[in-house]
Amino acid sequence: IVTYLKNPDSTFPKLLSGLDNFGQKYGYKLNINKTQVLCVNYTPSSSIRQKYKLKWDLGNIKYLGVFITQDLNKLYEINYHKINNNIQKDLSKHQEDDNFTVSETLKTWTDIVRKYKLEGDCRLLLWPLQTTLFRPGQIDKTFTTWTEVLQPYAH
């Protein structure tokens, strides 16, 4: 479950109480050992920290295979910078080959997606394209760059 809370000092205890009530009724149990909290523009009070023994001091959390950071400017670097460089190296191997066909291009792209475990990321990143509230600009640019790099091989 991913939640966003306004006024977490008052709403966080209510959220956990609601999850507890739901769990008692439907058999759901919150695994506190795996529960992560990413505080953005919020510092939990010592009473909240003591009452709820959670991982409060995380700079990022991993959700559906993608790291979400407190600083949105770091999203690209943490998730895609290294992968992008490796993909560029893999693709550059084929740029000199005039006999590189469309089917080989698609196979290369499929291999890259599998090699760097991007299956979940590619699906996950379709959502921001449809949502005007969330536009991770540098990530969008990365997919545009990959498309431009692959385009010459599609002929």
Residue type, 104: E
Cα(37)–Cα(39) distance, rounded to whole angstroms?
A: 6
User: What's residue 124's pLDDT?
Assistant: 44
Cα(70)–Cα(134) distance, rounded to whole angstroms?
A: 14
pLDDT per residue over 36-47, tens digit each? 888 888 888 888
Residue type, 153: Y
User: What's residue 99's pLDDT?
Assistant: 60
Domain spans, the chain: 8-58, 72-154
Strands in 70-125 per DSSP E: none
User: What's residue 150's pLDDT?
Assistant: 72
Q: What percent of the chain has pLDDT over 70?
A: 72
User: What's residue 88's pLDDT?
Assistant: 78
What's the pTM value of the predicted model, to 2 decimals?
A: 0.49
Cα(140)–Cα(155) distance, rounded to whole angstroms?
A: 24
pLDDT per residue over 97-148, tens digit each? 656 565 566 667 667 777 777 766 555 444 444 444 444 555 667 777 777 7
